[in-house]
């Protein structure tokens, strides 16, 4: 599983050779301070930031990759892990390994991607729905569109703004792949994260602003971090030397990043709502302020209606991250990575169909 370090990064334990050393070598190459390769420098934009390796003081032989927590800025992060490519085995895999990987999801070559898991925040119930890799492997050519759309539905509506923003980010990654012949990626994933709570997002609809101002909850550390219980990770113990022990739920252990709320130091307890002169009729006739406790009944559905029906021109600005992760099977190449490109294009087509329909 993935551990959270108190400094706001995440720790991914190095896998046994040759996978672990290969992934470490990949990160070292891309993030080399002397790197002047424009292809690799651009690639950094699509990866979690890399901060070298880390070992706990009590177990110096255990090595972890220290990486950016992509979910850190989100209040209610919705997370999806999608393996990309037509092959989930690398060129050096044995016949037995190839058969094993193909049997896990025979449609990989045709579909070009596989949903490894998702975690979706439902506003109506203030709870998360999770799906594991068995869910993804159950998807067929006919059901994959509905299967993916499930990730973007918050219990009230389809988050078209998050879909549109995701498409734009995948297109940027696709452009990078179309322009490089240095590396081929196998069994690598895209990590999708978007903000599930409208209360934590600022959205402008003409002169409509939804902005959350919350107080700092108990458990704030001196460095401004918050360690708390949630559905993904239970922090047992942390000390000044940076040691951290955590237990991770099995169902989500495949995820790269685990849910952690990070509130800024603001001492307000109210949600400010300014909703004036809506073009499609006034939802509220004047600015109003309602406390957090009153976000129920008819108010929350109205909030969701405003948030979910954002006009097309603002969709790309939604709080969304799409990052490449898992690099234990990256190899030098002198040709385009056609399998990965095929997967990206097909994923874009599926997302666009969800948006259009």
**What confidence tens digit (pLDDT) does each residue in 230-251 have?**
333 333 333 333 333 333 333 3
Using a pLDDT cut of 70, give the percent of the chain over it: 67
Higher pLDDT, 275 or 144: 144
Cβ density class 117-155: b for 16+ within 10 Å, e for less: bbbbbbbeeeebbbbbbeebeebeeeebeebbbbbbebe
The residue ranges of every structural domain in the chain are 70-199+232-238+246-258+318-356
Superfamily of domain covering 70-199+232-238+246-258+318-356: Inositol polyphosphate kinase (3.30.470.160)
> pLDDT-based confidence at 317, cuts 50/70/90?
low
3-state secondary structure at position 322: strand
Beta bridge pairs of residue 11: 3, 66
User: What is residue 155's DSSP assignment?
Assistant: S
Asked whether 119 and 130 are in contact (CB, 8 A), the reply is yes
**Does residue 293 surpass a pLDDT of 80?**
no
What pLDDT is attached to residue 199?
Answer: 58
pLDDT of residue 318: 73
User: What confidence tier does 1 reach under pLDDT thresholds 50, 70, 90?
Assistant: confident
Residue with the bigger pLDDT between 225 and 63: it is 63
Q: Render 28-87 in DSSP notation, one character per residue.
A: HHHT-TT---HHHHHHGGGS--EEEEE--TT-TT--EEEEE-TTTT-SSEEEEEEEESS-
In sequence order, which residues have a C-beta less than 8 Å from that of residue 146 and are 6 or more positions away? none
pLDDT at 332: 97
pLDDT at position 198 is 76
Q: Average pLDDT in the 83-109 region?
A: 97
Q: What is the pLDDT of residues 27-57, one digit of tens each?
A: 999 999 999 999 999 999 999 999 999 999 9
Return the structure tokens found at 9.
Answer: 């990064």
The strands making up 77-84's β-sheet, listed across from edge to edge, are 127-131, 113-122, 77-84, 188-195, 320-325
In sequence order, the β-bridge partners of residue 231 are none
Please tell me the least confidently modeled range out of 114-118, 148-152, 291-295.
291-295
Look at residue 122 and tell me whether its pLDDT is greater than 90: yes
> Which residues are within 8 A (CB) of 268 and not within 5 positions of it... i.e. 6 or more apart?
213, 214, 215
pTM score? 0.71
- Give residue for tokens 């050096």: 92
129: pLDDT strictly greater than 60: yes
Question: How far is CA 137 from each of CA 11, 118, 299, 306, rounded to the nearest angstrom?
Answer: 27, 13, 39, 35
What angle do the packed helices 160-178 and 338-356 form, to 10 degrees? Answer: 160
- Is the pLDDT confidence value at 268 over 70? no
pLDDT, averaged across the chain: 77
Rounded Cα distance between 86 and 186, Å, is 9
Task: Quote the pLDDT of residue 212.
Answer: 35
152, 340 Cβ separation under 8 angstroms: no
Span 176-187, mean pLDDT? 98
51's tokens? 């901060």
Query: Are the C-beta atoms of 83 and 113 separated by less than 8 Å?
Result: yes
């Amino acid at each position: 599983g993935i551990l959270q370090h108190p400094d706001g990064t995440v720790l991914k334990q190095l896998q046994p050779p040759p996978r672990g050393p290969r992934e470490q070598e990949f990160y070292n190459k891309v993030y080399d301070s002397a790197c002047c390769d424009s292809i690799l420098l651009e690639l950094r934009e699509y990866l979690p930031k890399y901060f070298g390796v880390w070992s706990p003081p009590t177990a110096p032989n255990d090595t972890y990759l220290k990486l950016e927590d992509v979910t850190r800025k989100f209040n209610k992060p919705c997370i999806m892990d999608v393996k990309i490519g037509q092959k989930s085995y690398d060129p050096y895999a044995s016949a037995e390994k190839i058969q094993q990987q193909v049997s896990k999801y025979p449609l990989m070559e045709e579909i070009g991607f596989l949903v490894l898991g998702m975690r979706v925040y439902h506003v109506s119930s203030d709870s998360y729905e999770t799906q594991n890799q068995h869910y993804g492997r159950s998807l067929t050519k006919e059901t994959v569109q509905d299967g993916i759309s499930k990730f973007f539905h918050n219990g009230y509506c389809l988050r078209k703004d998050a879909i549109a923003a995701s498409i734009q980010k995948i297109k940027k990654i696709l452009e990078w792949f179309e322009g490089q012949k240095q590396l081929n990626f196998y069994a690598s994933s895209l990590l999708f994260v978007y903000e599930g709570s409208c209360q934590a997002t600022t959205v402008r609809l003409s002169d409509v602003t939804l902005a959350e101002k919350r107080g700092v909850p108990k458990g704030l550390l001196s460095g401004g971090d918050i360690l708390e219980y949630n559905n993904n990770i239970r922090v047992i113990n942390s000390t000044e030397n940076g040691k951290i022990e955590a237990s991770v739920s099995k169902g989500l252990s495949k995820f790269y990043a685990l849910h952690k709320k990070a509130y800024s130091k603001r001492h307000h307890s109210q949600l400010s709502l300014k909703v004036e002169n809506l073009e499609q009729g006034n939802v509220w006739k004047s600015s109003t302020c309602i406390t957090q406790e009153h976000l129920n009944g008819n108010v929350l559905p109205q909030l969701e209606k405003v948030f979910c029906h954002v006009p097309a021109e603002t969709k790309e600005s939604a709080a969304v991250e799409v990052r490449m992760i898992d690099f234990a099977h990256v190899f030098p190449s002198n040709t385009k990575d056609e399998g990965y490109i095929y997967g990206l294009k097909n994923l874009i087509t599926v997302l666009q169909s969800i948006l259009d329909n």
